[in-house]
Structures are given as C-alpha cells and as structure tokens.
Amino acid sequence: MAAGKVPVKTLVTNRQARHLYFIEEVYEAGMELVGTEVKSIRAGQANLKESYCHIKDGEIFIYGMHISPYEKGNIFNVNPTRDRRLLMHKREIRKLYGVVKLQGVSLIPLSLYLKNGRVKLELAVARGKKLHDKREDAAKRTAQRDMAKAMAQERRRG
C-alpha cells in the first residue's frame, strides 16, 4: 500500500446512478447516524436506489435512503427511511447550492463506504440523461463487447 493511501471498503453502491445520469463532479460527505444504523450499513443492509440529496437552510440532507433495522438492535432501531444530515464543510455546501440553483443539476448519492472506520457517502453532481443518451451508451457497450469477443476469437485461432 502506498504512503498516504487510506484503505476504503465499499459497502453499498447505487448502480442505476451512472445509467440515469451524467456524473459531473464527485464529493465525499460524512453522515450523521445512530449506532444501529452503522451496524446495518456495515452488514450491507442499505439501499441508495431511490435516494437523493437536497440543501436546506445551509445544511445538506439525504432523502429516501433505506437502512434496514439492525436485527439485534431492539429499542435502539430508528425509522429506516428517515432523513439524514450529511456532514460537509460550509464552503462545499455553498458551492453545491450555487451549482444546483444555477445549472439545474441534481445531487445523487453514488455509494457508501468505510474510510478510517467511518461511514462516508460518495455524492455526485449529476445531470439527467435523455432517452437517446441511454441508447447511445448501450450501443457503445454492445460495440465494445462485440470487439472484445472478436479479439478473443482471433487469439484462439492464431
């Protein structure tokens, strides 16, 4: 491992995000969680599929993220879809607020991961794709796959 590199363990990803959006910028944010939520996330019991972020009163929140109740959590479990505050520097939040207001982009969570034992959220400034963009991407993927197959067949023959 290189000096200065922090090991990162990805726990949950939002697979649909890169299909539905053009990712323009990526940010890292901490999350305000309770203990049983952290245990559930560590077990991979979270879902980012329908979630999005919004800035309100100078703070940034994530809505629609589902964290399943921890099985052994009993009375300490909280509402699985509650709104959670994200932890970012004020200047970053102000910058994101300006970008979202002026350019009409969305704040989409991409993944949850562990960094130095803390749960972090990868947050993207994203612009929605149109149907023709999605078709174009699918065509590119198909072409790449076909080229790879052809190359593999050529290697086997020769």
DSSP string, 101-154: HHH--EEEEEEEEEETTEEEEEEEEEEEPPHHHHHHHHHHHHHHHHHHHHHHHH
With a threshold of 0.85, does the pTM exceed it? no
Q: pLDDT band at residue 135, thresholds of 50, 70 and 90?
A: confident
Q: Is residue 110 part of a domain?
A: yes
Q: Which two tokens stand for residue 21?
A: 């959006």
Range of the domain at 99: 9-128
Q: Is residue 3 part of a domain?
A: no
Nearest-Å Rg of the Cα atoms of the chain is: 19
Please report, as a single letter, which amino acid is at residue 89. Answer: H
Question: What are the φ and ψ backbone dihedral angles of 146, each rounded to 5 degrees?
Answer: -65, -40
Q: Is residue 72 part of a domain?
A: yes
Q: What CATH number corresponds to the domain at position 82?
A: 2.40.280.10
| First and final C-alpha spacing in the chain | 39
Q: Is residue 151 part of a domain?
A: no
Q: Is residue 140 part of a domain?
A: no
Q: Is residue 49 part of a domain?
A: yes
**What whole-number percentage of the chain has pLDDT above 90?**
31
Q: Is residue 109 part of a domain?
A: yes
User: Which burial class, exposed, middle or buried, applies to 137 when counting CB atoms under 10 A from its CB (0-12, 13-18, 19+)?
Assistant: middle
Mean pLDDT taken over the chain: 86
Q: Is residue 102 part of a domain?
A: yes
Sign of CA dihedral 35, 38, 44, 47: positive
Total count of domains within the chain? 1
Q: pLDDT band at residue 59, thresholds of 50, 70 and 90?
A: very high
